[in-house]
Each structure stands twice: as structure tokens, then as C-alpha cells.
Amino acid sequence: MLPTAHLELDYEAVIGSAQKLRHIFAREDSWPADDMTREEDLVDLMRHEKEFELRLAFAFTVLSPIRDRCLGCVYVNPATKAAYAAEVLLWAVSHGMSDESARSLDSALEHSVREWIGSAWSFT
């Protein structure tokens, strides 16, 4: 889950990778704003928690092995196209990394999520 308890880790990841994130969800997205506050991020996390509790959508934090850094997020949302059961979106941090390391993290996260979705979720 992407809980409010991860606010500080999430905020650091979101603000640090803001430029990259503006192209993840839509071509011309303005989220996150350069001046996004922790309070605004908290509101987002509260919404994700509520959606999770109501089983409307599922957002997950991707943490480092020692759980001290948010490496990205994974979202399993209702499908936007009739032929699909769900839509999966994901992002990995890129700040503080070389381009090669960022690409490697992107690739590893996508690979892991594809395996996880295929084995743990039963979409029909």
C-alpha cells in the first residue's frame, strides 16, 4: 500500500523526480507542481489509502531493501479501455542517479511488476 506513514519518503521521491513524473500519467501533466507541499502530498496519500480500503484502486510504495527510501510507486487502477480488467502504471525515482542507473531501476521495476501482476493478481 502507499500509506500516509510513507509521507516523508514519498514526498522526497515525488519532488526529486518531478520532471520525470509529469510525463508518466499524461503527456502534458502538471503533477507534481514544483511548489507542491507536504500537505498536498498527504492529501494524495490519504486518497490512495481510501481507494485501497474501498477496493477501487491500489497504490503501492516501492521501498529500498532497508526501507529508508522510496524508489517509486505502482498503481493498479480500473481499466480505461473496455477490453482490459485493469491498468497498471508505475514510476521509479531518477534523482541523484546517473542516467544509466535510472534506466536500470526503471527496467528492474517494470520487470518485477510484470512478474508480480502475472502471479499475484487474477484478472479476467
- Chain centroid to Cα 50, Å, comes to 16
Residue found by looking up cell 477490453 in the block:
83
Q: Check if the beta carbon of residue 71 is closer than 8 Å to that of residue 101.
A: no
Using a pLDDT cut of 70, give the percent of the chain over it: 98
Domain encompassing residue 67: 4-120
Strands (E), 1-124: 58-63, 70-78, 86-92
Average pLDDT of 98-117?
96
* pLDDT in the model for residue 23: 85
Q: What is the pLDDT of residues 60-77, one digit of tens each?
A: 999 999 999 999 999 999
d(CA 74, CA 60): 5
CATH number at residue 24: 3.40.630.30
- In this prediction, residues 88-103 reach a mean pLDDT of 94
